[in-house]
Structure formats: C-alpha cells, structure tokens
Structure 1
C-alpha cells in the first residue's frame, strides 16, 4: 500500500506510525512533518478520502480498519469526502518548508486542498 520508504522503522512500527499520522492529518486537515513522511502519508490519505466518497458500509468498514479513531472516520464520511465529490483525486498537497534544527531533516506541510 504505501511507498518504498522504510523511514528507519520495522514494518509493523512503520505502519502503526503511518496509520496514526493519517488519522491525525484527517482530523486536523493540516500537519507539519518530515518530507519523507509527508510523501508516504499523501497516498494513504487520498485513498481514505476516495473510500469516503463511496459512502457505503463496505467502504466505511475498510476505512475503519485503517483509521485509528471512529470519530475521525465519521468526520471523513460526513464532512471531508462530500466536499470533494466533484474532484477526481488530488485532495492533498505537500509543501516544503525548510530544514529542522537539530538533525537537518527536510520538513514539509501536508494539507487538504480547498
């Protein structure tokens, strides 16, 4: 499902981290993180929004198996996905913001497109 970046973590930890970050991103609509993580979050978040556009029980259950909080899943299906009903993909964008002080990791903001 996600890309090929390992992000310095074993598979189970990496997937748990990505699930949590996608959940937080969908809850807030915007998130600042490293560029590599933002590039990994983007396709996962777009897939969740596409599931939300289907708005049937099977899609809801599939989204709930990935999203870690039920209130975020309800928000996805009731608020976020209907606002993108006329749009075919491209729901998110990644904007580079610079480097992080301390380890010089490239930082980026990932946000929902209005």
Structure 2
C-alpha cells in the first residue's frame, strides 16, 4: 500500500482524486500510453499496477474489485483479456514513466506513462564454485555430480614434449652521441639530488 502524500490532493477532495486516478487508469489501459504531468503519473503508477495484479488473477472476485475502481466494463474486459496475458510472466513493474520536458503554459513537468508489454527475459545467474553451490543452492544429490568433472580432469595423463627454442643473440648497439648526453645529464641530476 503506498504511503499517503503530504500536502493537497490532486484535484481538490479525496473523491475527486479517486475519480481522476480511475479515469487515468482507464485511459492508460485503453491507449497503452498516455501523456500527463509527473505528479499525476507518480500517483497513477501504484493504482494501475494494483489493477493489473488483480487482472492477472483473472477470477470473478478480482474482476469485481477492478470494476469497483473502473466503471467501464469494456476497459475492464480489455484489461483482463488483452493486457493480463501479456504481463503474466512479469513480477511487477508493469508501467514505465519517461520524462518529456516541461509544458509551455505553466512549466509543469510532463511525462509519458506506458504499459510495459514486452516479454520478460529471465536473468541468467552466475554459477558459484562447486563447494558453495553444493552448500547453498544444490541439493545433496547433485553435489557429487558437480565435483565429478574436476576429478576427471586431474586423472587425464599429461603429455610432455621436448621443445627447444633457439634464438640468435642480439647484436650490440653502439650508443649514439645524443643518448650518451641524456645518460650523462640523468647521472648528474641523480648525483645533485643525493647530495
């Protein structure tokens, strides 16, 4: 349950705020994306996500709970038949708010709130070491299987080969006059700093 906000309500009284949020939710479910002020979108997000959670349950009681908030039966039907199956695999986070800038007349921060209907991709978990996974994640029956490849790798005989690499000696380079001057200057500076 979201915590109550401080300050004045949207639109005046509590009944007007409830009606505004219900109408915004109905418009969101109908059009899948709406443009509104940032304050209204932030207040709409928990209401819309709660209604989508009811729609995912799909039973008669959930449908009546949604109908108590949104009075339009066609919007509720669309929510239960079209939107709920698309977000069935998603565990929350059904809406996305994107900032658009400021409104010209009163400089109100405008946003676009939209339904996230893309299929969810499961996260790939990184495997831990064999001993950690045996104690934390894997049951005792799977622990010996995880250690078996390590034992097999140590039993494989290693082939030893004789390879000799021969390299030719590098010819001595005669230092140039400029290099000799740089080395002499570096040696003088080292002597001066040590004194």
TM-score (norm 1): 0.94
1:100 & 1:29 partners in 2: Cα distance?
A: 22
Once the two structures are superposed, what CA deviation does each residue of 1:22-55 show, in whole Å capped at 9, x if it has no partner?
Answer: 1111111000000000001111111111000000
Say whether the 8 Å CA contact 1:34–1:106 is kept in structure 2.
yes
Runs of 4+ in 1 over 4 A off after TM superposition: none
Say whether the 8 Å CA contact 1:30–1:110 is kept in structure 2.
yes
RMSD, aligned α-carbons: 1.3
Partner of 1:80: 83
Say whether the 8 Å CA contact 1:20–1:68 is kept in structure 2.
no
Partner of 1:4: 5
1:40 & 1:53 partners in 2: Cα distance?
A: 21
Partner of 1:29: 32
Instruction: Compare CA radii of gyration and give the structure with the larger one.
Output: 2
Q: Which ranges in structure 1 are unaligned for 5 or more consecutive residues?
A: none
Partner of 1:49: 52
Partner of 1:40: 43
Post-superposition offset of 1:7 = 2.4
TM-score (norm 2): 0.56
Q: Which ranges in structure 2 are unaligned for 5 or more consecutive residues?
A: 119-195
**Structure 1 residue matching 2:104: 3-state secondary structure:** coil
1:28 & 1:70 partners in 2: Cα distance?
A: 16
How many residues are aligned here?
Answer: 114
1:19 and 2:22 aligned: yes
1:110 & 1:30 partners in 2: Cα distance?
A: 6
1:112 and 2:115 aligned: yes
Bigger relative CO (Cα 8 Å, ≥ 6 apart): 1
